[in-house]
Structure 1
Amino acid sequence: MKKALVLTSAFAACLALQGCGPKAFTNGEYNDPNKVELLDDKFNEADMQQMADKIVNTMLKCPDIVESRGRPTIAVSKVQNRTEEYPDLDSLTEMIRTNLTKARKVRFVDRGSRAEIDEEVAYGTTGRQSRESAKKHGKQIGVDYLLTGALATNVQQVANDKLIYYKLTMNLTNTDTSVIDCTEEVQVRKKFRKKSLGLF
């Protein structure tokens, strides 16, 4: 009897712990990625989309791009993170690159795949590929511009009010002259207010 009582008490304690523990997300649904929902005060996809759209529009109107013969070739460099957060800046540059590529005004060089491409070209010299299809060195396209940038932030908080300011700066730097031929700055400002936690 005593043993049964102990087991019952232990089972009840387990149920109590489960009830007080973190709840799992068991129900979900698809949501519109273009709908802005601020669930917290962190850098989010809505900020990223606003910034990418403005950068792309500016780059496509840049005189050096518009007046260029043919489509200039661009290589994407790392965007500096000058914030205290860990935003996915690779996704930001991918969004910019994708939209610029779709516009058919510029071309991009995939710097991240160069080692693999060299390996594939070297494999073509082993005689395992036909002469007609084997790739050769010396045919890669040179880079006309480097796309560089930096994301900075400033946070101000007074009592329950919090203001978060983001600034993204992106530059197209000419690889022949080191001159910044095109630049744009995007600013995003968000305001949050903490809810008071009452007893009732």
Structure 2
Amino acid sequence: MKKFFILPAVAISLLAISGCTNKSVVRYGDAAAVETTDINFGSTDLQKVAAEMTDSLLISPVVGTLTVNTRPVIFVESIKNKTSEHIDTESITDSISTKLLRSGKFRFVDMGRVASVREQLQYQQSGGMVDTSKAKQFGQQIGAQYMLYGNLASIVKSNQDQSDVYYKFTLRLMDLESGLVEWADETEIRKTKGKEYISW
């Protein structure tokens, strides 16, 4: 009789143990919260760089003389990644462009979509497929007055106890006609990771 009582007890124990296993849980977090997962370039760094560069440009003398009716046209060149990390620098320029566009001070041309625009214009001008009175014409686009460009560089040092990374982000605004750099600024980030020794 004892054997019959032991088997159900074992089965119940196994079920209880399997019910206590760890499960992956996904939660929404605050996108603006400080990220400290590691010392690599992360979301907090991207937000800091975009906010500081945008604020600096918007209070610069070159922008102070602009009005809504004279919003200059800018194109953004890809940020050069001079770090040892794989960093999506397009996300940085996207954030900066979006903030500047929302300010109402600038307009942008998207040089990354030139090939797609050319293909669409050729399609509209090919004849037969699009009403010629509604087809968009070549030679009507507005050229950019300024180019926004920059670099992201880093210096990384480490030893047995500590790792240190220093980032420097530089951004410049060039007048395409004169070749003059009308505005430039940079922001710096330093992050460290070390061992904490706990005394007992």
**One fold, TM greater than 0.5?**
yes
In structure 1, the partner of 2:144 is 143
Q: How does 1:111-190 map to 2 (within 5 A)?
A: 111-125=111-125, 126-190=127-191
Q: CA deviation at 1:86?
A: 0.8
Equivalent pair of 2:147/2:175 in contact (CA under 8 Å): yes
Instruction: Give how far 1:33 is off.
Output: 0.6
Deviations for 1:8-33, whole angstroms, at most 9, x for unmatched residues?
A: xxxxxxxxxxxxxxxx9721101001
SS at match of 1:135: coil
Code of the residue aligned with 2:119 in structure 1: it is E
Q: Structure 2 vs 1, CA of residues 153 and 124 (structure 1 numbering), >3 Å: closer, same or farther?
A: same
**How high is the TM-score relative to the length of structure 1?**
0.81
130-139 or 180-189, larger mean C-alpha shift? 130-139
Alignment of 1:1-200 (within 5 A): 26-68=24-66, 70-125=70-125, 126-194=127-195
Does structure 1 conserve the Cα–Cα contact (< 8 Å) formed by 2:35 and 2:42? no
Pairwise CA distance, 1:195: 5.2
Task: Output the aligned Cα RMSD.
Answer: 1.9
Describe the shift of the 1:63–1:127 C-alpha distance in structure 2 as closer, same or farther (beyond 3 A).
farther
Is the CA contact (8 Å cut-off) linking 2:35 and 2:43 kept in structure 1? no
Unaligned runs of 5+ in 2: 1-21
Q: Report the 3-state secondary structure (helix = DSSP H, G, I; strand = E; otherwise coil) of the residue aligned with 2:39.
A: coil
Counterpart-to-counterpart distance in 1, 2:195 and 2:135: 63
Question: What TM-score comes out, normalization by structure 2 length?
Answer: 0.81
- The CA distance in 2 between the partners of 1:166 and 1:67, in whole Å, is 32
What's the secondary structure of 1:78's corresponding residue? coil
Q: 1:120–1:185: structure 2 CA closer, same or farther, 3 Å change rule?
A: same
Tell me how far apart the structure 1 counterparts of residues 23 and 104 of structure 2 sit (CA, whole Å): 42
1:173–1:181 contact (8 Å) kept in structure 2:
yes
1:161 maps to a residue whose letter is Q
CA distance in 1, matches of 2:119, 2:64: 36
Deviation of 1:161 (Å): 2.0
Paired letter, 1:112: G
Residue 68 of structure 1 and its aligned partner are, at CA, apart by 3.5
Letter in 2 for 1:124: Q
- Residues of 2 paired with 1:65 and 1:138: CA distance? 28
Preserved CA contact (<8 Å) 1:145 1:172: yes
Q: Percent identity?
A: 32
Tell me, yes or no, if the aligned pair for 1:65 and 1:72 is still in contact at 8 Å. Answer: no
How many pairs does the alignment contain? Answer: 174
Give structure 1 stretches of 5+ with no counterpart.
Answer: 1-23
Please tell me whether Structure 1 or Structure 2 has the larger radius of gyration of its CA atoms. Answer: 2
Q: How far off is 1:159 after superposition? A: 3.5
- Classify 1:25/1:108 alpha carbon distance in 2 versus 1 (closer, same or farther; 3 Å): farther
